[in-house]
Structure 1
C-alpha cells in the first residue's frame, strides 16, 4: 500500500507496476487463451504480492499478426479477452483492491485492417488519405529509401490503388501513422480521453519515440544492420516532443495518470527531455541500453553473455542523469524480452539469482516493473522444436538463419536465449494439471516445460520462495522513503562479480546494497569509505545465512544483502 497521498501528481514514483500479458495469464472460459475474467480471478494473488498498478498488454480488437500490437479498432476489445463490460468489471474490482490499471497505447501504427487504413489506401483525396505515411516510387519504381523493418525485409509496401508505398517499421500488416496530420492526432487524443474517462489510470506508450519522422526520409548509412536502418530517420524525430506536449495539453494534464514511454534508440540525455516534469510530456521512459549489452555480432539473436561491469555502467548512467531531472523506469524483462533469470542470473542458482535480481532492481531509484512470473523466478522455455515458436520476430530469424545454413543446434540455442516467446508462455499456477492451472485445454502457446517445479502454488507454500522475497521488496518501497527518494552512488565499478551501491536520503538514512552475480562463494572487501562509523544493520538478505556487517563479507552464490543505517 502506498503511503503517499493518492491524489499526488507523483503517486507513480512510489508505485510498483505488474505487467500482465492477458492471453497468457489465466483462461476462464476454456478456450486456451487468457482473458479479462481470468485476471479478475487472480486479483487476490496480485493483492497478496502487494503491487499497485497492472499494465495490460493490448486488449483491443486485432488480427493478432503481432500479438495485439496491430490494432484494427481502438474502441473495441479482442473478443478472445472479453467484452467492455468484462473490462469495466476488472477496473472496478481492481480499484476496490487499490490496484490501478494502465493500458498499452499503440499509436505509432495500426493494423492494415483498421478502417482508417482501408480508406486511406483507396485514394489520395479522401478523409483518411493522409492518416498514414505514403511515398511515391523512385524513378525506376524503386523503394522510397533503404529503411528496413524490424521483423525483416524493407520498411515499405506497395499499394496499387494509390500507386504508392506505405511505411511500416514492423510487419507489413502494421502501417505507420502520419503524426504530421492534425486530424490524425485529434482522433488519437479523442480515443485516449475515451479510455481515461472509462476509468483507466494511464498508458504504456508503445514505441512512442518513433512517432515523428524526419520528413526528408533520408537513406540510412549502409553500415547499419538492414533491419535497423529504419531507426536512423525515425527515432526521436524533430517534432516528437512537440507532439507529446500537445498530447499532454489536450489529454493527460486533465487526468492523474501514469505514463511510461517505450523509447527505443533513446539515450539518457534524450530521456531527460521526455521525463523532465517541467516539460510536461511523460512520467518516465523505458531504458533500452541494458537490453543491448549482450548483443553479439548477429545483434539480438546471438549467444553472447552480458558483462556485469557493462550492466553497472548503464544503470549508473541512467541513475545519475535522471536523478534530479526526470524519472527512471526499472525492469529486467517484459513481453519483448527473455526471462531475467536466464539472461542476467543463473538457472543453476535460479532461486538465489531471481531474488538478487529483484533486490538490485527494487533498490534502485525509479518505478519498478515486474513481468508476470518474474516473482516466481521463471526461466526461458526450452522448446523441443523450432516449430513450437509463435513469435513473428523469432520465426523470421529462424527462417533467416536456416537460409544462411547455420547449425540447427545454434538456432535452437539463440531462440531459447532471445525469443520473445520465452516471456509469453502461460503463467504456471499449479503443478497438478497438464496446463499448470492456466487452462483446462491446450493453450495457444506451449507451456514452459519446467512448470512442475516453478509455479504459484508451490511458491505460496514456501516462505523462502522468490514470491515472498518480492513481496518484502514491494513492502519496503512503500515503507521507506529512502528507496523512493534517496541518492544513488555506485561503488566498485570495475568489480566483475559484485554490484555495490548506496542510497542516501536527505535525513541521513542510508541503504547499502551488496549483490553477488557469481556462481562461486566470494570473499568481498567492503569499500573502506563504507566501513567507517556507520552502524549497518541487515534490512534484507536473499539467503538463509546469518550475516553481520564486516569489512570482509563471505557471499554465497548470487547472495544479496541490503544493509541500513540511520547515522
Structure 2
C-alpha cells in the first residue's frame, strides 16, 4: 500500500537530461561532474529529487536509451567514482537520486545480444524476440517501429527476424523469459545497493508482447501528418495483461529496500494507466500521468482532465502530474508566451507529485533545429512532420557567457538564441522572474500542508477561468487561474474565494485581501489562503 507521508508523495521531482545540463570537461556534452557543480541551483530552487535520463554505457544510437552495459557509466558522462560522488553530494544536500531504467530493449552491442545473434542454439537466443520469416519471406507480422518503418530486422546469419519496438539498434528483450527478468532485477539491486532512491522505468507498458504475435489492427482515426507507426493500434505489441505481473515483480525488488520508489513511463488513456498501480497498489508507486503534455490549453479541457484522473484513481493511489519531459515540446512553447507562469502554478498546486523538466523553471522554449544539426534518430527517420525531440533537449541556459555557461566547447546541440537574457543568473536577479515564481511556488507548497496532503475540490467556473480548492484540516487554499488574455472579475460571494493572496504569478500581490470581488489580469493566476 502507498505510505502516507512518503518522500515521493510529498516531494518535487526534477528531470535532468545529462547531455544538456552542464559540461565540465569541455567536450560539448554534459556530464556527472557538471551536475554536481550545479546542485546548488537545485537546492535553491527547492526540489526534492533528481531523475537522471540514462547515463549507462551506450553506443548512443538513441542517446543512452540503447544500453550496452546496465551496470557501467558511459565515459561520456564520467566514471563510477563520479556517480558515487554525485549520489553523496545529492544526499548530503537532501536530494534523492532516481535513475532511468531501460528494460524493454538493449543496444545491439550489448554482450547479451551479440551472443544471441551468434547462433539459433546460443543460450542467450531466447533473451530476445526472434521469429521465422512469413511464408513470403517477409516480416513475421505487421508490427511497426515507433521510430519509423517496420519493427522486424532480418538477421542474415541465422535467417530469422528480431523485434525492435524502436531502432533496429535497440532489440527488444524477451520478458517472458525468467532469466531476462532475473538479470534486470539484479541490475536494479546493483544500483539500489549503491544508494539510488528509485527508478523511472522506460516504456514499461511495452515489456510483454502477444504470445501469438498476432497482427495489430488498423487505426481508423489515423491521418497524414502523424507518425507512421500510428497507422496501426498496438493492441498486441504493448500493454498486454501479463505485463502487470512484471510490474509487480519490479515493485517487489524495490520493496526489498527501504524508502524507494518505482515510477513507470506509460502513454496510455487514463483507464488503462490506472491498472499500472497494480492489484492492491503493488505495482508502480507512480505511473506517470502525461495527460497535460498533449492537452489543449483551455480551462474546460484541463478541468475535465483533472476530474477524470481524480475519479479514476484506485483507493489509496497517489496522483502525479508532468508538464514537460525529454520527448515532448517545451511547455513554454505549447501554452504560448504568456501562459508558462500559469502552467507553473497549475503544476505545483494540483494534488499529487509534480515533476519539473530542466529549464522549465527559466521558461526555456522549444528550439528550432536546422536540418543539418538534427541529432534525434526519430526525426532523421521520420522527417518533416515535427516529431524531432532535439528542440526540448538543448543546453541549459545558466548565464550570458558564451554557450550560456553550459560549455566552453561547441555544444552537442545549439543553445537557444535568447540565452543572453533568459538564463539563471539574470532571472535570479529579477525579483518578478519566472524562476523566482517557481522558487516561491515551491516554498509555498512546502509551507502549506493543504497543497501537499489536501483534498482536491473543483470550483464551478466558465470561460478561460480554472478554479479549484485544496483542503486540509484547518486550512483551505483556493487556486484561480486565468488561461485567457482578457481580465476577469469574479464575484466571490457564496463561492468561498475570500481570503488573502498568498502568491500571484507576477509576484506583486502577496497579502492582498479578497473580499467581494477577485480581479485577475489576463494570463494571471493567484493562490488564496484562508484558515478555517
TM-score range, shorter chain: over 0.9
Work out which of the residue numbers 465, 469, 482 in structure 2 matches 1:502. Answer: 469
Find the aligned partners of 1:521 and 1:100 in 2 and give their Cα distance: 41
Q: Verify the 8 A CA contact 2:298 2:483 in the aligned structure 1.
A: no
Find the aligned partners of 2:146 and 2:233 in 1 and give their Cα distance: 8
Shift of 1:525: 4.6
Q: Verify the 8 A CA contact 2:437 2:506 in the aligned structure 1.
A: no
Work out which of the residue numbers 280, 286, 289 in structure 1 matches 2:288. Answer: 286
Aligned to 2:19: 23
1:62 is aligned to 2:58 = yes
Q: How does 1:237-316 map to 2 (within 5 A)?
A: 237-265=240-268, 267-275=269-277, 278-293=280-295, 306-316=297-307
Work out which of the residue numbers 518, 522, 526 in structure 1 matches 2:484. Answer: 518
From the superposition, tell whether residues 561 and 70 of structure 1 become closer, same or farther in structure 2 (CA, over 3 Å): same
Aligned to 1:429: 398
Shift of 1:479: 2.5
From the superposition, tell whether residues 439 and 227 of structure 1 become closer, same or farther in structure 2 (CA, over 3 Å): same
Q: How does 1:109-148 map to 2 (within 5 A)?
A: 109-148=105-144
1:279-336 alpha-carbon deviations (Å, 9 max, x no partner): 3221101123333445xxxxxxxxxxx4442232222211232274322221110111
Q: Verify the 8 A CA contact 1:276 1:326 in the aligned structure 2.
A: no
Q: TM-score of the superposition, structure 1-length normalised? A: 0.88
Q: Verify the 8 A CA contact 1:323 1:487 in the aligned structure 2.
A: no
Shift of 1:17: 0.7
Shift of 1:382: 3.3
From the superposition, tell whether residues 162 and 231 of structure 1 become closer, same or farther in structure 2 (CA, over 3 Å): same
Q: Alignment partner of 2:356: what SS?
A: strand
Shift of 1:557: 2.2
Q: Verify the 8 A CA contact 1:245 1:279 in the aligned structure 2.
A: no
Aligned to 1:379: 365
Aligned to 1:178: 174
Work out which of the residue numbers 509, 524, 538 in structure 1 matches 2:501. Answer: 538
220-229 vs 47-56, greater mean Cα deviation: 220-229
Aligned to 1:420: 389
Find the aligned partners of 2:216 and 2:298 in 1 and give their Cα distance: 30
Find the aligned partners of 1:107 and 1:420 in 2 and give their Cα distance: 21
Q: Alignment partner of 2:484: what SS?
A: coil
Q: Alignment partner of 1:254: what SS?
A: coil
Shift of 1:212: 1.4
Find the aligned partners of 1:214 and 1:393 in 2 and give their Cα distance: 25
Shift of 1:234: 2.8
Find the aligned partners of 2:345 and 2:417 in 1 and give their Cα distance: 27
Find the aligned partners of 2:279 and 2:474 in 1 and give their Cα distance: 26
Q: Verify the 8 A CA contact 2:254 2:262 in the aligned structure 1.
A: no
1:369 is aligned to 2:355 = yes
Q: TM-score of the superposition, structure 2-length normalised? A: 0.93
Q: Alignment partner of 1:234: what SS?
A: coil
CA RMSD, 1 decimal:
2.0
Find the aligned partners of 2:100 and 2:16 in 1 and give their Cα distance: 11
Runs of at least 5 residues in structure 1 that lack an aligned partner in the other structure: 1-6, 295-305, 402-410
1:53 is aligned to 2:55 = no
Q: Verify the 8 A CA contact 1:269 1:321 in the aligned structure 2.
A: yes
Find the aligned partners of 1:150 and 1:307 in 2 and give their Cα distance: 29
Aligned to 1:303: none
Find the aligned partners of 2:325 and 2:171 in 1 and give their Cα distance: 24
Find the aligned partners of 1:324 and 1:541 in 2 and give their Cα distance: 33
Shift of 1:453: 1.7
Q: How does 1:154-553 map to 2 (within 5 A)?
A: 154-223=150-219, 225=222, 226-228=228-230, 229=232, 231-265=234-268, 267-275=269-277, 278-293=280-295, 306-322=297-313, 324-344=315-335, 346-347=336-337, 349=338, 353-383=339-369, 385-398=370-383, 401=384, 415=386, 419-431=388-400, 433-492=401-460, 495-505=462-472, 507-526=473-492, 529-531=494-496, 535-546=498-509, 547-553=512-518
Find the aligned partners of 2:145 and 2:151 in 1 and give their Cα distance: 4
Shift of 1:390: 1.8
Q: Verify the 8 A CA contact 1:428 1:456 in the aligned structure 2.
A: yes
Q: Verify the 8 A CA contact 2:290 2:323 in the aligned structure 1.
A: no
From the superposition, tell whether residues 9 and 559 of structure 1 become closer, same or farther in structure 2 (CA, over 3 Å): closer
Find the aligned partners of 1:148 and 1:219 in 2 and give their Cα distance: 10
Q: Alignment partner of 1:76: what SS?
A: strand
Shift of 1:372: 0.6
Q: Verify the 8 A CA contact 1:275 1:325 in the aligned structure 2.
A: no
Find the aligned partners of 1:44 and 1:199 in 2 and give their Cα distance: 20
From the superposition, tell whether residues 422 and 189 of structure 1 become closer, same or farther in structure 2 (CA, over 3 Å): same
439-448 vs 470-479, greater mean Cα deviation: 470-479
Q: Alignment partner of 1:489: what SS?
A: strand
Shift of 1:520: 2.7
